[in-house]
Structure 1
Amino acid sequence: MPDTSLMQRVRGEAHVTLGRHGLRDLRQAGSAKAILPRTDAPEPEVVFLNTAGGITSGDRLDYMLTLGSGARATAGTQTAERAYRATDGPGRVVTTLKLGAGAHLDWLPQEIIAFEGCDLSRITQVEMAGDATFLGVDTVVLGREAHGETLRAARLDDLRRITRDGVPLHIEHLTLGPDMLNDPACLGGARAMATLVMAGPAVSDALEPLRAVLSAQDVTAHASAWDGRLVARFLSRHPAPLRRALVSAILTLRGRPMPRVWQCEVTT
C-alpha cells in the first residue's frame, strides 16, 4: 500500500539573464515561472510567479535574475505570495539578484501574506558591482485582515543581504515567532511592515524628497541615508495605507510609473 502520509511538495526554479540589449537566457522548472511581458517601458520587466499559489512545509522555490554590464530592468512578482499553514517545518524561498557594472535594477515584489500557522524561511541576496544601482522593497502582511485573522502561531525567518563588490553593504535578519507577534514592544500592534532599500552612487540626494513624501502618509515611516545606501521603513495597522505609502515612495525614487502587475494608480 502507498504511504498516504507523504504529501506532494512544491519545487521550482526560475533563472533569467539580461544583457544591455535584452534577454540572454531563460530557464525554469517546476512551479517557478518567469515571464517578460510587453510594456511601454524603455527597459525589460521580469515577472516571477509561483503557479502552486503559495508556500507550505517542505516547499522550495529558487529565483535568480542576473543583469549584465549596463543592463537595466524592473522585476517583481505577479501577485502577493501566500505563506500557508505549515505542519512539518518551513517552506523556503531563495532569491538571488546579480548586478554587473553600471547595471540598474528595481526589485519590486508584492507582499508576503502570512497565514495563521505558517512557517516561512526566505533569503534574498543581492550581489552588485560598485557602480550598479539597486532599488528593492520587501513587504510582509501578518494575517488576512478581511477574514479577521490574528496570527498567534506563525513563524517567519527573513534574511536580506546586499553586497557591493563582494563587501557587505546591508544585512538584516528578521525573525518573528509566536512570542513576538502580539508583543507591544515588538510591532506595537502593526500588522503590515515594509523595508525599502536603495543602493548606488549619490542615492543620498533622494533622501529629502523621500522624507517629504513620507511625512504626508498615514503610516509610521522613516528614512535615512549613509554610505551609498538609503533605507526607509514602514509600519501600519492596516495593509492598504501601507501599500499606498510604499507606492508613493517608490514613485518618488523611480521617477516613473509602477509596474503594471501592481495594478494601482497612486501619484506623488
Structure 2
Amino acid sequence: MPLKAKHPGDISLERVAATGRLSVSRLNGRTRLARLYQDGAAKIRMPSTPGEGLEAVLINTAGGLTGGDRISWEVDVGQDASCTVTTQASEKVYRALSGRAELSARISVAGGGRIAWLPQETIVFDRAAFSRRLDVDLAADAEALLVEATVFGRLAMGERVVRGEFRDRWRVACDGRLVHAEDFAVGPEIADGLNRRAVSGGAIAIATVLLISPEAAGRIEAVREIVGEKGGVSAWTVEKSGKLLARLYDDDGYALRKRLTPLVEMLNGQAGLPKTWSL
C-alpha cells in the first residue's frame, strides 16, 4: 500500500511500500513453486527454463525508487532445491526530495539447497538516498552465489553523480555462524568518496560477487582471469564449505557488465545466465 510523505512544498506524494515472498521446494526431481506472496509494486514471475532448478524474476512495477520508498524480498529455498533469482531490469534509484529509499532481501536455504541471487545493476542517480540490505541464512551444506552491482550515473546519458547517500549491508551465515559481513557507505559527497583510491579510484561501476560452496577455492584462478586488473579475488575455507569473494570495478556500467556476465555464467553452473541478463 502506498505511503504518503511531504516534501518542502507540502505536496502530498505517494510512497511505495511493497513486499514479495517466494518459497520453493524440490518435488519429483525438479524445483517447484511452494508459496508466493505479492504486495504492492512487488511482483514475481517464473519463466519456463530447462533443467532442474527454478528461475524467478523480481519486478518493481513502480519503475524505480526514490526517497521514502521501501521494497522487501524474501526467498526460502527448501531442501535439495535450487533457485536463481534475478530482476526484470536494472533498479533505478532517483533523486530524493526527502527520506531514503530502502531495499531489503532476506534469503534462507535448507540442507542441500542452492540460491543464486543475481539482480541486475542498481543505477544510482545524483542526489539519491538509498539503503540496501542483504541477509542470508544457509544450512551447513547449502550453497549460495550472491551478486550485487551498482552504477553511479550513466555516462552514455551524460549523467554524473556528485552528491547523495548510498549504503550497502551484507550478512551471510552458514549453519548459524556468521561467515561474511560487510558494510559499505558513501556520501554525502559521493563523487569525492568514489575518487578515493581505497574506494574505487574514480570508477563509477562496482560489483561484489560472493560464492559459498565447497568448490569455491577451486574456482579462484578462473575467476581471476575474468576479473583481471580492475578488481581482486580471494578464497578461504569456511566451516565445512568454502568462500570466494570477488570485487570488480570499471569506468562505466557497460564495461563492468562485459566481465560480470561471463563470471556469473561460469559460477552459476548448469543454471547459467538468467534470461533477463541476455536481453
Equivalent in the alignment of 1:212 = 225
TM-superposed CA distance for 1:26, in Å, is 0.4
Q: 1:192 aligns with which of 205, 223, 226?
A: 205
Partner of residue 247, structure 1: 261
- Find 1:19's aligned residue among 19, 25, 33: 25
CA contact under 8 A between 1:181 and 1:187: conserved in structure 2? no
Distance 1:180 1:59 in 2: 21
Q: Tell me the CA shift for residue 179 of structure 1.
A: 2.8
Kept in 2, the 8 Å contact 1:114–1:154? The answer is: no
Partner residue in 1 for 2:49: 39
What corresponds to 1:179 in structure 2? 189
| Residue number among 203, 226, 231 corresponding to 2:245 in the alignment | 231
The Cα of 1:168 is off from its aligned counterpart by 0.8
Q: Within 2, Cα distance between the matches of 1:222 and 1:252?
A: 17
- Identify unmatched segments of 5+ residues in structure 1: none
In the alignment, what sits opposite 1:70? 80
Deviates more, 1:175-184 or 1:74-83: 175-184
**Does 1:262 pair with 2:268?**
no
Task: Give the Å deviation of 1:87.
Answer: 1.5
Moved over 3 A (4+): none
Q: 1:6 offset after TM fit, Å?
A: 1.9
Q: Is the 8 A contact 1:18 1:71 kept in 2?
A: yes
Distance in 2, Cα, partners of 1:249 & 1:87 = 37
Q: How does 1:70-89 map to 2 (within 5 A)?
A: 70-89=80-99
Match of 1:28?
A: 38
Structure 2 residue 60 is matched with structure 1 residue 53: no
Q: In the aligned structure 2, how far is the partner of 1:251 from the partner of 1:125?
A: 23
The residue type paired with residue 277 of structure 2 is: W
Partner of 2:214: 201
Aligned to 2:266, what secondary structure does the other structure show? Answer: helix
Residues 73-97 of structure 1 show CA distances to partners (whole Å, capped at 9, x for unaligned) of: 1111111000011021101111011
> In the alignment, is the contact (CA less than 8 A) between 1:204 and 1:225 conserved in 2?
yes
Kindly provide the amino acid, as one letter, of the partner of residue 260 in structure 1: K
Partner SS state of residue 181, structure 1 = helix
Distance 2:25 2:48 in 1: 17
Ranges in structure 2 where 5+ consecutive residues have no aligned partner: 1-5
Contact 2:149–2:207 (Cα < 8 Å) also in 1: yes
1:67 and 1:38 map into 2 onto residues whose CA distance is 18
Per-residue CA deviation, residues 75-121 of structure 1 (Å, 9 max, x unaligned), is 11111000011021101111011100110111110010000110001
Q: Return the offset for 1:255.
A: 3.2
Map of 1:126 onto structure 2: 136
Residues in 1 aligned to 2:51 and 2:274: alpha-carbon distance in whole angstroms: 9
Identity %: 33
Task: List aligned pairs for 1:72-111, cutoff 5 A.
Answer: 72-111=82-121
Q: CA deviation at 1:180?
A: 4.3
* TM-score with structure 1 setting the length: 0.92
Residue 117 (structure 1) aligns with: 127
Q: How many residues align?
A: 259
Question: Structure 2 counterpart of 1:6, which letter?
Answer: S
CA distance in 2, matches of 1:180, 1:146: 19
For the 8 Å contact 2:163–2:190, the answer to whether it is kept is: no
Offset, 1:50: 0.4
The structural deviation recorded for 1:63 is: 0.4
C-alpha distance in 2 between matches for 1:154 and 1:146: 20
**Aligned equivalents of 1:93, 1:166: Cα separation in 2:** 24
Letter in 1 for 2:257: R
Secondary structure class of the residue paired with 1:87: coil
Alignment RMSD (CA, Å): 1.5
2:165 aligned with 1:155, yes or no?
yes
Instruction: After TM superposition, give the deviation of residue 47 of structure 1 in Å.
Output: 0.7
1:152 offset after TM fit, Å? 1.2
C-alpha contact (below 8 Å) 2:69/2:101 kept by paired residues: yes
CA contact (8 A) 1:204 1:226 kept: yes
